[in-house]
A and B are shown apart, each in its own frame.
Chain A
Amino acid sequence: MKRYVIIGNGTAAVGCVEGIRSLDKDGAITVVSKEPHPVYSRPLISYYLEGKTDLERMKYRGDSFYDDNGCQVLYGVSADTIDPQSQTVSLDNGESLPYDALCVAAGSNPFVPPFEGLETVEKKFSFMTLDDALALEKELTANARVLIVGAGLIGLKCAEGIHDRVGHITVCDLADRVLSSILDADCAAVVQQHLEENGIEFLLADTAVRFEKNTAFMKSGRTVEFDLLVLAVGVRANTALVKDAGGTVNRGVVVNEAMATDLPAVWAAGDCAEGFDASLGANRVLAILPNAYLQGHTAGVNMAGGSAAFDNAIPMNSIGFFGFHMMTAGSYDGEMTEERSDGVLKRFFIKDGKLNGYILLGATDRAGIYTALIRDKTPLDTIDFEMTKKAASNMIFSREIRRKRFGGVV
Chain B
Amino acid sequence: MKRVYVNEEWCLGCHLCEYNCAFANSGRKDMAFALKDKPIFPRIHVEDGERIHFAVSCRHCTDPICVKSCIAGAISKKDGVVKIDRTKCVGCLTCVLVCPYGALAPGENGTMQKCELCLENTCGAPACVTGCPNRAIVYEERGE
Task: Tell whether A pairs with B.
Answer: yes
Is A41's CB within 8 Å of the partner chain B? yes
- B104 partner residues in chain A, CB cutoff 8 A: 368
- Size of the A side of the interface (Cβ < 8 Å), in residues, is 48
Would B72 and A15 count as touching, CB distance under 8 A? Answer: no
Cross-interface CB contact of B72 among A53, A293, A365, cutoff 8 Å: A53
Known: A53-B88, A394-B56, A407-B6. A364 touches B96 (CB 8 A): yes
Q: B126 → chain A, closest Cβ, in Å?
A: 14
Is A393's CB within 8 Å of the partner chain B? yes
Known: A290-B94, A395-B52. A406 touches B69 (CB 8 A): no
* Residue-wise interface mask of B (85-127) relative to A, using a CB-CB cutoff of 8 A (1 in contact, 0 not): 0011011111111111110110000000000000000000000
- B5 partner residues in chain A, CB cutoff 8 A: 406-408
Is A325's CB within 8 Å of the partner chain B? yes
Is B39's CB within 8 Å of the partner chain A? no
CA A330 to CA B12, docked complex, whole Å = 37
Known: A368-B101, A407-B6. A394 touches B96 (CB 8 A): no
Is A316's CB within 8 Å of the partner chain B? yes
Would B143 and A290 count as touching, CB distance under 8 A? Answer: no
- B68 partner residues in chain A, CB cutoff 8 A: 15, 290, 293-294, 297
CA A392 to CA B8, docked complex, whole Å = 18
Would A318 and B101 count as touching, CB distance under 8 A? Answer: no
Scoring B47, B69, B143 by chain A CB atoms within 10 A of each residue's CB, the highest score goes to: B69
Would A290 and B69 count as touching, CB distance under 8 A? Answer: yes
Would A289 and B94 count as touching, CB distance under 8 A? Answer: yes
Nearest chain-A residue to B67 (Cβ)?
A293
| Further 7 A-B residue pairs, CB within 8 A, beyond A371-B98, A406-B56, A407-B142 | A44-B72, A57-B87, A297-B68, A318-B96, A325-B93, A408-B142, A408-B143
Cross-interface CB contact of A367 among B88, B96, B143, cutoff 8 Å: B96
Is A25's CB within 8 Å of the partner chain B? no
Q: B133 → chain A, closest Cβ, in Å?
A: 19
- List which B63-94 residues lie within 8 A (CB) of chain A: 65, 68-69, 71-73, 87-88, 90-94
Would A371 and B47 count as touching, CB distance under 8 A? Answer: no
Is A409's CB within 8 Å of the partner chain B? yes
Would B3 and A409 count as touching, CB distance under 8 A? Answer: yes
* Residue-wise interface mask of A (8-42) relative to B, using a CB-CB cutoff of 8 A (1 in contact, 0 not): 00000001000000000000000000000000010
Is A154's CB within 8 Å of the partner chain B? no
CA A392 to CA B47, docked complex, whole Å = 10
- B88 partner residues in chain A, CB cutoff 8 A: 53, 57
Would B61 and A410 count as touching, CB distance under 8 A? Answer: yes
Would A60 and B93 count as touching, CB distance under 8 A? Answer: no
CA A329 to CA B104, docked complex, whole Å = 18
Main secondary structure of the interface of A (DSSP, over half): mixed
- A287 partner residues in chain B, CB cutoff 8 A: none
Would A60 and B73 count as touching, CB distance under 8 A? Answer: yes
Would A59 and B59 count as touching, CB distance under 8 A? Answer: no
Would A399 and B100 count as touching, CB distance under 8 A? Answer: no
CA A115 to CA B141, docked complex, whole Å = 63
Is A110's CB within 8 Å of the partner chain B? no
Would B102 and A60 count as touching, CB distance under 8 A? Answer: no
- A319 partner residues in chain B, CB cutoff 8 A: 92
Is A205's CB within 8 Å of the partner chain B? no
Q: A211 → chain B, closest Cβ, in Å?
A: 33
Cross-interface CB contact of A395 among B49, B62, B93, cutoff 8 Å: B49
Would B100 and A316 count as touching, CB distance under 8 A? Answer: no
Q: A68 → chain B, closest Cβ, in Å?
A: 12
Would A410 and B62 count as touching, CB distance under 8 A? Answer: yes
Is B19's CB within 8 Å of the partner chain A? no
Scoring A290, A297, A403 by chain B CB atoms within 10 A of each residue's CB, the highest score goes to: A290
Cross-interface CB contact of A329 among B7, B97, B99, B143, cutoff 8 Å: B97
CA A44 to CA B89, docked complex, whole Å = 10
Would B62 and A368 count as touching, CB distance under 8 A? Answer: no
